[in-house]
A and B are shown apart, each in its own frame.
Chain A
């Protein structure tokens, strides 16, 4: 990685995130974690490291692709950048505001209209009413929902929901944008349109962290990559060379 520039916008130093396995919990999240745990270093006292000894830097304007299998720690990494998890070991320094695309379709309230959901998701992700109003027309236009925007979200098709989610995320953005498997939504025409929008975004000075198990997506958008395997950094570098490594493995 080129470390010529000063002050990386995201910097992980020896980062470690630890999960505890408690006897009392039975949620599906726990079951998911357990399957992750079996592949990670499961300790006898019911702890395992979701991420460990992770070191990397992201410069402003970079599009960082995060490669790795399901359960390798990609989502844990995004949550740590978003400030949802605090490091149990090492540091995670983020010098900017973060918006995340993770919320999208799961964040909708089905009984509320598209308009109401735009405002709800906006304020939940930390924007003020005023900021959302300023972006409102842009969101509605990009989503192509037209009059459907005044209908309850439960009447939407999954494609429409995804379009609305993408439009909100692309309009309400911060210095750093976290993207988790959300690209390639909607029909062919909308995919093309959102692809163009993403490329526009990449050319701006926004920093993007992109997670996908689809290596094609990462190849298309990101200039730098890190590869996480079982919670640890396997390799880091320019996308082209990382792609070769990843696909050969």
Chain B
């Protein structure tokens, strides 16, 4: 708890830095391209197009709403993969910075999550017109979306803090994570519906895999007009545990980063 409060204080004291790191990253990413920031929207759009073509026309599978169901889960997965994939290497990538300036290093982890979130929000710009097109059920349950996003943010920060330290001391983790994150996608109900899991395993499946309830919740509130069910608390639980573990572990190791990088 103490380390969490200290980390938050540290980040808040350098909010200018957090802002500039994000601006810089976004500028570098999009600046020299003719279409600039438009790519942040085009990127998820093309990704979705590929899946629609693949599933609807090539495999001729999935129900009418399959593309938007898929996309509402995939956008969230994309955010997680982006931030986590970068955070596993974030301390190594910024080694020069760590060795020259002292600042709350957790800002670097937060930055990767912020950029992922930024891309996610731009992805929603593509998603919402699609929801209309595919006759999604709009309801007041859509108001849950900001809540879900905040919980995923906390989850990704906590996990990122843990992973950034682990990635510093065990460099092979960068490669391992690429596979693990692929496996997470296949083990979670993003590409398929949760109903595909045999009924007797569903309870244990939803309890053990935090992404199961996360993806299902996104599908529920965005497409089906349903509220989150009780299993979402599993994801909330994972988020809180990761946040505490992450800040504790990160704080404990933080003063060694410059030496060990």
Contacts of A123 in B (CB 8 A): 14, 16-17, 19-20
Interface 1/0s, chain A 75-111, versus B by CB < 8 A?
0000100111110000000000000101100110101
Chain B: minimal CB distance from A46 (Å): 13
Contacts of A29 in B (CB 8 A): 95, 99, 261
Q: Bound complex: CA of A19 vs CA of B99, how far in Å?
A: 14
Contacts of A107 in B (CB 8 A): 96-97, 100
Contacts of A112 in B (CB 8 A): 24, 27-28
Contacts of B16 in A (CB 8 A): 123, 128-129
Contacts of B171 in A (CB 8 A): 24-26
CB–CB A85/B100 < 8 A: no
**Does B203 sit at the interface, judged by CB under 8 A?**
no
Closest B residue to A100 using CB positions: B100
CB–CB B96/A111 < 8 A: no
CB–CB B100/A116 < 8 A: no
- Please give the number of chain A residues whose Cβ is less than 8 angstroms from any Cβ of chain B in the complex: 31
Pick from B46-54, B114-122, B252-260 the stretch touching chain A. Answer: B252-260
Counting chain B residues whose Cβ lies within 8 A of the other chain, the interface size class is 20 to 34
**How many A-B contacts are there with CB distance less than 8 Å?**
73
Q: Given A27-B92, A111-B28, verify A126-B101 contact (CB < 8 Å).
A: yes
Q: Given A86-B255, A109-B24, A112-B28, verify A124-B97 contact (CB < 8 Å).
A: yes
Contacts of A116 in B (CB 8 A): 24, 27
Main secondary structure of the interface of B (DSSP, over half): helix
Contacts of A53 in B (CB 8 A): none
Contacts of B96 in A (CB 8 A): 106-107
**Does A215 sit at the interface, judged by CB under 8 A?**
no
CB–CB A85/B101 < 8 A: no
Contact of B102 among A25, A26, A82 (CB under 8 A): A82
Contacts of A233 in B (CB 8 A): none
- Could you write out 25 A-B pairs with CB less than 8 Å apart? A20-B260, A22-B169, A22-B260, A24-B170, A25-B260, A26-B171, A27-B261, A29-B261, A79-B258, A84-B98, A84-B258, A85-B259, A100-B100, A100-B101, A103-B100, A103-B101, A109-B24, A111-B28, A111-B31, A116-B27, A123-B14, A124-B97, A126-B101, A126-B103, A129-B16
